[in-house]
Amino acid sequence: MRAILAVMGLVMSLGIFAQDMARLPDGSSLQYYFTLPDNMESEAPLAVIMGGGPGTGRIASSTFQTLGQEFAARGWAVSTPVSPNSQSFFGTNGLLVSQLIDLLKQRPDVADGPVLLGGISNGGISSLEIANRDPGAYLGVVAVPALANSSSVTNLNDFPVFLRIGSEDQLGWAARYDATVRALENAGAIVNAKLVDGGGHRVPIDWANLEVWLNNLK
């Protein structure tokens, strides 16, 4: 069902991780990174964390080794997909993520049930779009940062969203903070949002608040 392309050979505090290839039910293939937390006592809940920009291998690797490993350190099984066409996971690419999740949940060390979605920049936007298709399949979205509008989010009734945008975002996303929060709330989402003072596009994450939010999801 999946073939390991390359074991990175890098032993971090969380152990060895690998870049794998998933053979998806629709016949396509998708590269992804995956790791399990150390000292597992039971099946680990799954978090899919997506990178920004085009979501290519370099970006996916960086996202996985930074934000992804922070989630793994807190008990999550973590996967970061690699875009097959340099178009992040918008539109039909998002369907690939859903198929990847179905495969990963077949692993005996990954918990069944809803999955956490998260992402940086385009990865955050992708997370919201994927969740909007089938919100019952997901625990919530961690978007650090993301943008949304009335057409991208329409179906998030009582769905938890953790949103952070930097006040000094170099791409001007701070100016769209209020509109993004409004779009999410109009779609029915329960939004934990903050404009982070002094934060840039790669907004720092307040883990103390995020951990409380995550614990309320489980």
Cis peptide before 145 (omega within 30 of 0): yes
pTM: 0.91
Residue in the structure block whose two tokens are 């290839």? 21
Residue 108 structure tokens: 């005996």
The total number of residues written for the chain in this structure: 218
Please state, as a whole number, how many other Cβ atoms lie within 10 Å of the Cβ of residue 150: 11
Closest to 62 measured CA to CA, from 127, 138, 119: 119
Q: Express each pLDDT in 66-97 by its tens digit.
A: 999 999 999 999 999 999 999 999 999 999 99
pLDDT digits (tens, 9 = 90+) for 174-208: 999 999 999 999 999 999 999 999 999 999 999 99
Residue 193 tokens, joined: 């949002």
Which pLDDT belongs to residue 8?
33
Residue 1 pLDDT > 50, yes or no? no
Q: What pLDDT band is residue 5 in, cutting at 50, 70 and 90?
A: very low
Count other C-beta atoms under 10 Å from residue 205's C-beta. 17
In this prediction, residue 38 has a pLDDT band, given cuts at 50, 70 and 90, of: confident
* Owning domain of residue 73: 2-215
Across residues 85-111, what is the average pLDDT?
95
Specify the number of domains making up the chain: 1
Domain CATH code at residue 108: 3.40.50.1820
